[in-house]
């Protein structure tokens, strides 16, 4: 029985990888592929990459973030549908140009506050950055920054240890916002924010942990969570 042809989704993925490598000299990440071909689930991207690997069109190194390599067989396969893939590649090229970089500036603890000194998150090199599509966060991008999460106090909010949160710089917050805050005792933490009288309640999203209550003047909001990037093994 002849093998079923590539799905449109798989053709789109191949086209995107080809265009990305041609422009940047390196393979795209799983998230970049998903964003470009309109797949929100990384597991669906991984499924299709596995199918492409099974067809001999792709080689993968699961231990490396950009561990993708197209095989020589791709030229033969995609050549049969060059016109269709060319149209996809044009759309993909537009998606790539709409990518922007968010600086990864340090760690934030989703747990007990951690001492950092003066609320300074800057422990990463300037070159560290997260690449996102403009469609993922509409609006201004110049005041965004990223933090890597340590701890599990926000697990019920789907924020796990090792995840990355994309923050927008903010000095204030509304009740219920998930924020990064600096406390007057030189500690930082990631929590839900609530005003209660003359106190601020910093609420974890973990039923095994207690909220933190502090005076209003002892809290400095540094950023509001805009999105969470799940880190998968």
Distance CA 74, CA 16 (A): 13
Distance CA 151, CA 48 (A): 32
Distance CA 72, CA 77 (A): 9
Contact (Cβ atoms closer than 8 angstroms) between residue 78 and residue 57: no
Residue from 65, 93, 133, 153 carrying the catalytic annotation:
153
| Residue 134 among the catalytic residues | no
| Residue 91 among the catalytic residues | no
Contact (Cβ atoms closer than 8 angstroms) between residue 151 and residue 80: no
Residue from 122, 191, 199, 224 carrying the catalytic annotation:
191
**Which residues make beta-bridge pairs with 196?**
199
Contacts by 120-125 with C-beta closer than 8 Å and gap 24+? Answer: 121/145, 121/147, 121/180, 121/188, 121/222
Residues annotated catalytic, as ranges: 153, 191
């Amino acid at each position: 029985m002849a093998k079923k042809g590539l799905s449109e989704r798989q053709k789109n993925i191949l086209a995107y990888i080809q265009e990305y490598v041609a422009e940047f000299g390196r393979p795209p990440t799983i998230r970049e592929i998903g964003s470009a071909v309109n797949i929100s689930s990384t597991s669906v991207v991984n499924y299709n990459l596995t199918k492409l690997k099974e067809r001999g069109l792709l080689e993968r190194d699961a231990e490396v973030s950009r561990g993708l390599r197209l095989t020589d067989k791709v030229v033969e396969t995609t050549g049969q549908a060059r016109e269709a893939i060319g149209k996809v590649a044009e759309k993909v090229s537009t998606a790539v140009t709409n990518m922007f970089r968010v600086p990864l500036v340090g760690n934030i603890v989703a747990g007990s506050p951690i001492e950092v000194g003066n609320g300074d998150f800057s422990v990463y090199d300037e070159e560290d950055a997260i690449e996102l599509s403009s469609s993922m966060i509409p609006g201004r991008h110049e005041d965004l920054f990223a933090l890597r999460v340590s701890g599990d106090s926000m697990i019920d909010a789907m924020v796990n240890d090792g995840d990355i949160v994309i923050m927008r710089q903010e000095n204030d917050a509304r009740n219920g916002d998930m924020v990064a805050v600096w406390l007057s005792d030189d500690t930082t933490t990631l929590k839900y924010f609530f005003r209660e009288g003359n106190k601020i309640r910093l609420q974890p999203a973990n039923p095994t942990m207690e909220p933190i209550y502090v005076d209003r003047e002892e809290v400095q909001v540094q950023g509001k969570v805009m999105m969470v990037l799940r880190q998968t093994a």
